[in-house]
Amino acid sequence: MPFKSHRYSLGARLFLSAAFCCVLILVLAGVGLTTFYRRSAERGFDERLSVYIKQLVADLAAPPETERQTVGDLGEPRFDLPLTGWYWQIIRLDGERPNVRSSRSLVGGQLPKLVDQDIAPNSRGLRESYVSGPDDRLLRILEREIDVGEDGRFTVAVAAPADEIEGDIQDFRFALAMTFLLLALALVASTLVQVRFGLRPLVRLRRAVGAVRTGESPRIAGQYPPDLAPLASELNQLIDANHEILDRARTQVGNLAHALKTPLSVMMNETGTGKGQLPQTVRTQTAIMRDQVQYYLDRARAAALSGALGGVTEVNPSLDALLRTFTKISQGRGIAGSHDVPAHLRFRGEKQDLEEMLGNLLDNAFKWAASSVRVTLDEEGGASERMELLIDDDGPGLPEEAMAEVVKRGRRLDEATPGSGLGLSIVVDLAKLYGGGLSLQRSPLGGLRARLVLPSI
């Protein structure tokens, strides 16, 4: 499976790269130390064998009358036991027939001569190598040529089992592996602590940005290290610039609305007392123009504000105020308005947009209700980051086929009631700008249910 770096967080990358480097360094160090220890163990073993060679050479150089008693008496019992792997061998080179003397442990066998294998002697005149012994055991062998003058030239060889070196190396390798394993675990743990500690300011910065996005904080707060402080400052400047642009857009939209509404109001006033077809037509078209201007100005304002950072509105205060207003307006009809919305519920958006949507829906509900309007929160349908508000009335309701028509812009099913037919379509447009929606259903109270889906925190 190919490595895809974008799937890993910055902390995971730092931890994995540091852990990989630590393990790689420890492995290379382990290989290097094992190689060094092998050479050291071989040198120590060779020193031991060279002592036996020196003793054999000293025995050869002894006076002839004592030679039979002293040659090969090395004080090591394993040279006398059969096939122990500890052997010595002396071969005379200048006679007509090679004279071979060897330890009892060879049991009549013979060690290979390194001089015949083109192995060069080292700085001390010793040839060293690994050979196969009489019982096919791997042996470490040292060989030396000496010249004792009239007594002749000899090759003296001493061999010992190589598995003694390997045993020491295996013990060292095991101890080294356990030590490096504990060291690797300690390094990986310390790397994890360092990464978590080092990235903690980034985590705090991420939480601060999230708090701004959800409206819990207007700006990024807190102190950050020198390498992150400029980023936090730039983000705060970006937030300030965003608010400044939105305030400017809101002002310009308000100015445009005022500039258009004033001439339209003048036109309606001028034709208000006139009689005949022309004044009536002008009044009608002017009212349509006013409603259309208001509709598109509201859409432009909502489109600008829906992307604003930090817009959060408490639902309960706005809902309480709207219900009180519509209850007073409908006081003569005896319509009661109530809600059962949790106090902690918050809308992720502008207060003006929330009141615009709830106001249009409540206006429609109070307009058609017989005696009751109720607002509730759908606990089952709402997800963790959205809310579903249910506005129910006990009015006549709508047929199933008509529910989709009334949300269209300017569409009215009853021309007898006052209004422009833009209220529900404004709600639909505003809800869509916030990633939500509006749907109409049959209410349990007998009338119409409006289901408003909006983002929440």
CA 159 to CA 141: how far, in whole Å? Answer: 4
Q: Which residues of 241-276 are buried (b: 16+ CB within 10 A; e: fewer)?
A: eeeeebeebbeebeeebeeeeeebeebbeebeeeee
HSE on the CB side for 88, CA within 13 Å?
25
pLDDT in single tens digits along all 457 residues of the chain: 444 555 677 788 888 888 889 889 999 999 999 999 888 888 888 888 888 888 888 887 766 554 444 566 777 888 888 888 899 988 888 766 667 788 888 887 888 888 778 788 888 888 889 988 888 889 999 998 888 777 778 888 999 998 888 888 889 999 999 999 999 899 889 988 888 888 888 888 888 888 777 767 778 888 888 888 888 888 888 888 877 877 777 777 767 766 777 777 777 777 766 676 777 777 777 777 777 776 666 666 655 555 555 567 889 999 999 999 998 888 878 888 999 888 888 888 888 888 889 998 999 899 889 889 999 998 775 566 789 999 999 988 888 777 777 766 444 444 434 444 456 777 888 888 888 889 898 999 889 999 999 988 7
What are the structural domain ranges in the chain?
12-168, 242-305, 313-455
Q: Tell me, which fold does domain 313-455 have in CATH?
A: Heat Shock Protein 90 (3.30.565)
Strand partners, 455: 386
Instruction: Tell me the pTM.
Output: 0.49
Q: Tell which phi-psi region holds residue 139, choosing left (phi > 0), alpha (psi between -120 and 50) or beta.
A: beta
Q: At CA 308, angle to CA 347 and CA 341, rounded to 5?
A: 5
In the sheet where 99-102 sits, what is the strand order?
Answer: 99-102, 87-92, 153-161, 138-147, 127-132
Question: By the 8 A CB rule, do 293 and 420 touch?
Answer: no
Which among 91, 73, 74 is positioned nearest to 152, based on CA atoms? 91
CATH architecture of residue range(s) 12-168: 2-Layer Sandwich (3.30)
Q: Do 97 and 90 contact (CB within 8 A), yes or no? A: no
